[in-house]
Amino acid sequence: MQAATRRPRTNHLDLAQRILDVARQRGFEPGTRLPEQQIASLCNVSRTPVRAALSLLAERGVVRWEADTGYHLAVDLAAQPAISAELPSAEEDELAEAILRDRSARRLDQTVTVAGLMRRYSAQRKTVLKSLNRLTEENLLDRAPGQSWLFRRTPDDPEAQGESYEFRLLLEPAAILTPGFRLDGARAAALRQGMEALVALPDAAFDTREFQRLDIDFHGMIAEGSANRFVADALADHLRLRRLPGIYAGVNVFRLRQSLLEHLNILDHLESRQYEVAADLLRIHLRLSRNQRPQAASRGAPALFGMISRPE
């Protein structure tokens, strides 16, 4: 086998994605220099894997190498929000995604075994174990006795979705109101840019996967802004479940677009440090999203959200 056909290492792929996330959150523009030591510090890793991850991004034209100054960002991440999807996947990552898709489609039982997954996917034992360990680390699976794993309950049916929104209604507004709440300004600016770009697209070009990324990142930013580590950790664990396939199935573009406008309105008040107003708007947003009906959004959202404007 030629070296060119080898899959990149999982840790290099994960780090490449993290570099993109950091660059997007901090609003890096095309041409921004990416010193290895700075990236290593931002991502809390050593320089060696950073070099490999930047090389991987350079192969795909996301960054460029200049002999005198090193790596530079080569693309506008805000204008190309789905660029992370172009990264290759390690074998265990592809298998993990296949397992999640099949579980969401009810093609897998709640309990799975290593042997059963090996047969189903014609995969080696070590690949299956790596995939299961990754899903366990993301709190999507629990280890059961023997060689079994148990899927955690996910918000992929009406009853579970209702419970998910009730959980979030209890904690997300509270996260904003915790003493010491802090908004990551660079991350907020990058999110605003991405949301405004997506909401401006026509329906035919609306990217649901990009909406999912922005939605999770927006609510994750709120969770991480809480000064209460227990609130932040509980929300972060729950938000991981919203990365699963099918979570946004059945929600039409009208509601997704309206949701982005609600995000932007909440963000206006977070940036103005009007936290009580932002928390109230977040409660309304979560209730409307729980309904997942365009007619509900059109009755309540525009008039209600339009009543409160950003202070001068």
Neighbours of 162 (CB within 10 A): 12
Give the per-residue pLDDT at 18: 81
Among 243, 157, 250, 257, smallest CA distance to 202 is for 257
Each residue of 11-21: pLDDT tens digit? Answer: 677 788 888 88
Q: In terms of pTM, does the model score above 0.85?
A: no
Which residues of the chain fall short of a pLDDT of 70? 1-11, 78-90, 154-158, 243-251, 292-312
Residue 268: what pLDDT?
A: 96
Q: Which of 87, 111, 83 is nearest to 99 (CA)?
A: 111
Give 153's DSSP letter. P
Of 175, 167, 299, 190, the C-alpha closest to 228 is 175
- Provide the 3-class DSSP secondary structure of residue 227: coil
Task: Give the 3-state secondary structure of residue 163.
Answer: helix
Q: Three-state DSSP class for 64? A: strand
Q: What is the pLDDT of residues 44-97, one digit of tens each?
A: 777 788 888 888 888 888 899 988 888 999 888 766 655 554 555 567 777 888
List the Cα angle 178/226/257 in 5-degree steps: 110
Instruction: Using DSSP, state whether 151 is helix, strand or coil.
Output: strand
Q: What is the pLDDT of residue 80?
A: 62
Give the model's pLDDT for residue 17: 80
Q: What is the pLDDT of residue 295?
A: 37
- Run of H or E residues at 279: helix 275-291
Query: Which residue, 169, 163, 132, 165, is CA-closest to 147?
Result: 132
